Amino acid sequence: MTTGPELGIFVISAVAGVIGALAGVGGGLFVVPALTSLFGVDIRLAIGASIVSVIATSSGAAAAYVRDRLTDMRVGMFLEVATTSGAIAGALLAAVVAPSLLFILLGIVLLFSAVQQVFKLREELPPVAVASPLARRLGLISSYPDARLGREVPYTAQRIPLGFLLMGFAGLVSGLLGIGSGALKVLAMDGAMRLPMKVSSATSNFMIGVTAAASAGIYLARGDVDPTIAAPVAIGVLAGATVGARLLPRLANRHVRWVFIPVLVIIGLQTLGRGLGVRL
């Protein structure tokens, strides 16, 4: 065996880890197409490796984000109720629902959201809001230290029922279609709940590992996780996520969107392509 392909897989996985850590998504959107098209890996094993990459991005980045108080653990735990139960419902529905229309719909939603994000490019922080009784009851009022602004930034979760519902949808989609629920999680926290972008990204990173672990058992049992492929992916992603997690605190919230929008466009096009039967 030569070490050529492994080195390539490692480098691409490291890049996926950096971007995933910054944007709050797993690296699947880069890892799967790279493995299948550049390295000729079977799609089944590529998806198995991408589940590993999501968990690696999540744990690698969240270790730093939790310590740096960028992750809101209450928001994360509360919303994980919705994502994990949504993921189970999705996995069960996968047997009965024809997914191609869903892929098309989700692709359109993601691309539409990317356009919406462009209009928020100049917004550094969401407008200050009064905490609702529900937010107080659930303890979803907090603050994070912004290294870039050099101050503590207070925030409160808004439109919590909508955010919870969208998170259930994110879980459902990831269980049903097996793709990037990270992007939907960031959209729910940033768009619906109006959390600061860095908090949304760091909390999404915290959560995606749990959602992925919930389905990892199924992939392991099916024999979709091949260590000869997943090992270089895991090492690369862990290295990349560690670097990305050091970058995020120093970036402005606006700059995080510059990373997130291209990610949304890529996932949107990939998803749309799958619905239309074209593999991008």
Partner 1 sequence: MNPARFRVLVSGVLIVGVVTSAILILVGFVGSIFVGWDGSFAGLPVAASRASDFSAVFSGLGALRPIAFAQLGLLVLIATPVVRVATSVLAFASERDWLYTAITLLVLGILLVSLFVIR
- The interface with partner 1 within residues 89-118 (CB under 8 A) comprises 91-92
- Size of the residue set binding partner 1 (CB under 8 A): 54
- The interface with partner 1 within residues 237-256 (CB under 8 A) comprises 238
Nearest CA to 201 out of 81, 16, 26 is that of 26
Q: What are phi and psi of 151, to 5 degrees?
A: -150, 170
Q: Quick one: 104 or 235, whose CB is closer to partner 1?
A: 235
> H helices within the chain, ranges in order?
4-23, 28-33, 39, 43-67, 73-93, 99-118, 133-137, 160-177, 181-187, 197-222, 227-247, 253-275
Find all residues with CB under 8 Å of 144, minimum gap 6, and list them.
69, 70, 72, 152, 153, 155, 196, 198, 199
Query: Applying CB under 8 A, which of residues 55, 153, 177, 199 lies at the interface with partner 1?
Result: 55
Q: Quick one: 30 or 219, whose CB is closer to partner 1?
A: 219
Q: Quick one: 111 or 138, whose CB is closer to partner 1?
A: 138
266: number of CA atoms within 13 Å, CB side?
20
CB 69 within 8 A of CB 145: yes
Cα–Cα dist 79/58, whole Å: 16
Q: Quick one: 36 or 85, whose CB is closer to partner 1?
A: 85
- Cα 71 versus chain centre, distance: 14
Q: Quick one: 28 or 275, whose CB is closer to partner 1?
A: 28
Smallest gap from Cβ 116 to partner 1, in A, equals 29
Binding window for partner 1 (CB under 8 A); candidates: 33-41, 68-76, 109-117, 248-256: 68-76
The verdict on 73 binding partner 1 (CB under 8 A) reads yes
Which stretches of the chain bind partner 1, using CB under 8 A?
Answer: 1, 3, 6, 45, 48, 52, 55-56, 58-60, 62-64, 66-67, 69, 73-74, 77-78, 80-81, 84-85, 87-88, 91-92, 138-139, 209-210, 212-218, 220-221, 223-228, 230-232, 234-235, 238
